[in-house]
Chain A
Amino acid sequence: MRHNLVIVVLLVGLLLIVTAHSAMGQITINGGNPLLTVTTGIPGQEPAAVTNTTCSLRWRRENVITKITVSTVCPNQRFSLRVLATNVSHGIAAPEVPLTNGMPAANFITSIPTGNPRNKTCTLRYTASATFSQGNSVELGNDSYTVTYTIVQQ
Chain B
Amino acid sequence: MPLSPKQRAIIILAAVLLATTGTTVPVRSQVFGIDAHTVTVQVAQITVVDLTVGAVGLNMTNGTIIAGQDMMTVQDQSSQLRWGTNSSGRKITASTSLAAPQFQLRLQAVNPTRGTAASEITLSSVPQDLLLNVGRTSGSCFLRYTGVALASQGVGTDNHVITFTVQAQ
Tell me whether A and B are bound partners: yes
Main secondary structure of the interface of A (DSSP, over half): mixed
Binary contact track B133-162/A, C-beta < 8 Å → 1, others 0:
000111110000000000000000000000
Whole-angstrom CA separation of A130 from B44 in the bound complex: 10
**Interface extent on A, as a size class?**
35 or more
Q: A7-B10, A43-B138 are in contact. Are A142 and B33 (CB under 8 A)?
A: no
Most buried by B among A22, A62, A66, A143: A22
Closest residue of B by beta carbon distance from A127: B41
Chain A positions within 8 Å of B, measured between CB atoms, are 3-4, 7-8, 11-12, 14-15, 18-20, 22-29, 32-47, 55, 57, 59-60, 62-63, 66, 79-81, 99, 126, 128, 130-139, 142-153
Contact flag A38-B38 (CB < 8 Å), given A23-B32, A136-B46, A136-B87: no
Task: Report yes or no: A79 in contact with B41, Cβ–Cβ below 8 A.
Answer: yes
B43 touches A40 (CB 8 A): no
28 contacts between A and B (CB under 8 A): A3-B1, A8-B10, A23-B32, A29-B37, A35-B42, A36-B41, A41-B46, A41-B138, A42-B84, A44-B83, A44-B140, A57-B35, A59-B33, A63-B24, A79-B41, A80-B41, A132-B137, A133-B138, A136-B44, A136-B87, A137-B42, A138-B45, A142-B40, A144-B40, A147-B37, A148-B34, A151-B34, A152-B31
Q: Enumerate B1-27 residues with CB–CB distance to A below 8 Å.
A: 1, 3, 6-7, 10-11, 14-15, 17-18, 21-27
